[in-house]
Structure 1
Amino acid sequence: MADAATVRTTPETALLDLGGLPRIFWETSNDLFVVTDSRGVLRAANPSWHRTLGWSSSQYPRLRLRDLIHDDDLPLALENLGAQASGEPFAGLNLRLRTTDGDYREISWSGVSDGRFWYAAGRDLTDLQRAERAAREAAAFWQATIDSIRGSVAVLDDRGHIVAVNEAWREFGRRQGLPQSSPLGQDYLAACDRAPDEPGARRAGEEIRALLAGRRDPVVFDYALDQRWFTFAATPFSGEGPARIVITHTDVTERRRLEEEARAQSAVFDQFKVAVVGTDRDFRITRWSAGAEHLYGWSQAEALGRTVPELTDPRPVSVVERRNAVLDGRFELSRKDGTTFIGHLRWTDLHNGDGLVTGTLGIGMDVSGQDRAENDARAARHHLQTVTDSMTEGLFALDAEGGVTLMNRAAESMLGWSLDEIRGQRLHDITRHRRSDGTVHPADGCPIGGAREQAQVLQVDDDLFLRRDGVALPVYYTVSPLGSAESDGSVVVFMDATHLRAEQERMQEELSAVVWIQRVETALAEDRLLLYAQPIVALSSMSVTQHELLLRVVEKDGALSPPGDYLAIAEEYGLIGDIDRWVLRRAIDLAAAGHAVEVNVSAASVSDPAILADIEQWLGATAADPALLVFEITETAVITNEEAGRRFVERIHDLGCKVALDDFGTGHSGFAYLKQLPVDYLKIDIEFVHDLCHNPASRHVVEAVVNLARGFGSVTVAEGVEDLDTLDLLIALGVDYAQGYHLGRPAPLLPTLAPKHPEDQP
């Protein structure tokens, strides 16, 4: 009889014959229960096994448990099960089992063997693990992103307390001599209130309070601190959860990009326990497991006879399904100490042999950890979106191969690509990454990949990205590796350096101008100006008839600076009048000594009535022959003030001097001015002289100027004659005078010409 009973005993009947509660538990639990023989062949499994993995009872006789275990987990399974073959129970054995869909679910197993069979219970951890991984990846991605933003960043909660800061924020505190303790938890609004004399702190406090009160517009303003300027920005966080304010302080004095570091909030998951609760048909508790004591905090003695709602106060937080007398869903549940948590409950009606309901059985577990992980991942994504949407910098997120997985709006605007166009492509290939000198960065040595390989933040301050339209965009950027075990990617944050470079060039030009102003002023004060003379030759006789005076500045080391280095700056900053008077005075002295000279007059002096009075006074004082003086003006001087130009020419003629119009033919209005201005000389610009022998167009211009001058009673002077062929052609074309290196280079005034005044004698 005993042998027959042994034969009739099956794994399932052996497990289920223990009573009604275990049978219900077998049927309704969310945990997996399986029985295998000593060879590992599946002999029995509860409905949760089928729901989770998909394997049906018809497959059991030929289904070995080891065939479902992931290859990487099989050695661990064999080692643990072999060690426990003596009958000792095992627990906490995490294995991945294959589903009928070919996917794998991670199950945490505990069990025991009686020699014939293995009895095991498992809990599906797959969704929890995925939620944890998603939270870590999102947090790491957000952290790497704000680490790459140049500027000091802090995140405030709805009370104005600091919940996250970056390294730049901490470094600023250290430079200010603040305590070395962590700033997390500090009251930022209180810190603003403690500095009422600082306009930036006072306004920051006011603006943050307005944002916390409900205003949605971001705030940006500049403020000064310790002789430096900063930009303050505050942006309200519009995602789910409590109010958050993202604030940034950026040092705009030196336009540096500061590294940032934010502490991402990591999810803390509670260890969940299974609670088994039975009630009668009036829902009064008749069974209260140890797991229920742990989960809800009520002892069995306190719970029996009371109702479940009275002890746990369940409130649905998701859609609750009821199928075939089974109630399944998530609830907010209360503990004895008044705290609450999110639990998953599965309630089943109990029936007697007649099919009448005699009570209920409920299985519950704490899923707060999984919900918090999902909420943290969602919050991290919202934080990331808030930060990236408020950035003026371009941002790329790259995978381990350098492929683009994300780009923000600023990057799309600056480079012209959309994320859909370049997703998955390597950033190095898209931008055809080039150095500032135009050479291509090899992919192996590219700084964008170097941050991942070296596991550190890299900054590049001078580089080029090619836009979608092929235009090179000057950039500076930061590359930060993702600090996540699940990802080997990186985040690239870049800025358009075009305006920065233009500003640097402008500042350099202004600095150069200031230096030249000081040099010219000093040279005038110390009388370190020097006149050179270049001969002007009459082509009819090949004799020197006059000299053009050319100014040089003698530097303190004795070097000479030509007019091209300083005249434009002198005109712009109002020094040209003093320079013109210095030259004109000495030109009149030379005329008084009997020398025929030609002197240049700037547009500013042509428009200055006082200069005419000075010329008249100097002529009278020196008794110089005015016919020996030629005043050379440019077309620009006339165009600048046409009335003043006409008055200057007329007054010079009244004094008995002559006027030359320089660079004739280069402007658009020169021919028209000949009708209004009675000039004596037309100086043909070097532009038409230097290629006269080879360019028919230049020859036509020279011929036209010669004929025009003759028609107006003027004579012509060709500038820039540098060879004999050009000289011969000018003579053939009827030009009257010429000057240039072929005829004579500019030379110091002494001994070429002898001035009259003793102070100008060597």
Structure 2
Amino acid sequence: MIQGAQEGIWEWQAGIEGSEWWSQPMYELLGLQVDECDIGLSQLQRLIHPDDREIFANAWAKLISEKGMQLLLEVRIAVKKQGYRWFLIRGTADYDYTGNAKKVVGSISDIHLQKQTQVQLAEEKDKVVATLRSIVDAVLTTNERGEVQYINQAAARFLNCTEEEAKGKHIENIIDLYEEESDKKIDNPILSCLSGSQKKNQKLNADIVTKSGAKYTVQLMVTPLISQAGRLYGAVTVMNDVTNLRLLARRLRYQASHDSLTSLINRSEFERNVRKAILNAKTKQKSSSLIYLDLDRFKMVNDLYGHAAGDELLIQFSNLVKSKLRGTDILARLGGDEFALLLTQCSISEAEEKAHEILQSIQEYKFIWEQKSFNVEASIGVAEINQKCFDLSYVLSAVDSACYLAKESGRNCVRVFREGDEDINRRRGQERWLQRFDKALNEGRLVVTAQSIINIKANKNAKVDKNGFEILIRMQDDSGRLVPPNAFLPAVERYNRAPKLDRWILDKVLFLLSENRNILSQIDKCSINLSGQSLVSEGFLPFIVAKLKEYAIEPNKICFEITETAAIANLDQATSFVQSLKDLGCYFALDDFGSGLSSFAYLKTLPVDFLKIDGMFVKDIHNDNVSRAMVKAINEMGHVLGKQTIAEYVENEEILNILKDIGVDFAQGFHAGRPEPILEFFKSSQFKVIAPKTRKLFAANG
């Protein structure tokens, strides 16, 4: 068993000549043959780097003489034909009755790559730190009594006073400090430092209120000034104004958890609350109930009067439902015309009564648009969250089944999920969408579309050139109408069909490019979306590599798009997946960047080339200063880290010009070009030739 281990194993016995032993992997790790050299402690010491030998000798001496010690040491060891490499040496000893080691068993592991990575990360960190230190911050100094001695110009502007006005005043007469987003006053860290209770640098975040009444959020660092004789004679304070960053962070937190149209919480935040309700039901025996509401006539309003009317209907509908809720009830918009309601500590009978009350209000309500009124209808499903609920998927599937059954029962009614109900069980959850997707895939009703991505730095006149584009997918229903991806992709992902869909798209698109070499030679990059499931799907990476080789596609023509949510959920696997394809020459983009709280935290870890700035920020930059500031911050951070940026939802010339001024690299949206079926896209662009073989393949799906 030991001989087959992946680590190098060694053994030493005290006072027994020839008893030392190395495993075969030990020789291999050191680049040696079994009969090439003597083995043992002395040979290992000779191989250790001269600068590390004393460290090893001291650790070894403690191990064999002090009972209970463990050997755990990182040293450099000479490897034949490779030079010195970093290894981790471990050792555990058995001791005799005198407390001396009689036998030591240990291992060595090659950690050279990890060490190199640590060095690279440290270098990157040093670059970021150097950049931050170059920013001019507010600086002030005080004497040992807390009286201001000096403030720089940045501090003078920050505190709204001159250096002369501040000099000699006690620090408490200049600023007050409070906990962030709180009215609770905190002790001044400068005074804590001067009192001697804080001997080292002190860092904290706080809200600062100047005597002029101005309020900021700052990062403070207070450093004691100590003479060579050890006497504390003052302190220096550096204040960095992070007010805008905090506002952006709060905006990010809000945007990450709320629907931008209705201001209701979104699906992810709602599901987080449902999970809490499930836990309470299991651990505290406190049942809750779930209600799904699906607007039945929303599509008609949208089709007849456009998205503006549809948006207004959704807003009014959400306000109508909110007016019927208790203070503890939670309403969310899940997407499109679907809403959900969590009634905490509410029985199923009470929830059914509430659902009928809401339905009656909906039936009495009339939506008016352009002097025309419409009756609004809704299908409502109700399910209980109790101790029998397995998990989130079970609960959502139950209430979704009830809602769908309400639709099948003629719409504009309420249905309650009850175990054993044959109709409910037959329509559980998103199985219907899964069936539709599978059927569409088998019948060739998936539609490959493309949308332009334009280079707005190189393309000064903002003319649409289609030498960069993103592949998008649509589905035709049985009547030939296009179904948007947000209708069927959740079911595809929930039932693990996403890798199958990704394989289908990749194969079709690479085949298209291979059959049209004139297109391949002219495009910049073809962007293809990959799901989080594909990133961790066994065999998916080799599939991509094989398809690139089969169709002889240059990897640098392909850019894969992944969402930050998918990447962060499987960070290690995602990073390895991305790096493997980047090593081939492919590019990667992080999609919907900025929509999650952890965006910046993981940005340095993921080796992506592009950041696609989430459209919820871009679409309002022409009339919202906060959105503009957020786009600018994301763009600048991306550029600092060596990544290019792509703005989504570029819908007009004004937005495009602002993005140019900010310095964003690429733009995508209706102003640059609407998504078109793939063949129409190329026929309407500079690429005119579509090979007959490709035309036949794509004839059924555009």
TM range (shorter): 0.3 to 0.5
User: TM-score, normalized by length of structure 1?
Assistant: 0.34
User: TM-score, normalized by length of structure 2?
Assistant: 0.37
Larger radius of gyration: 1
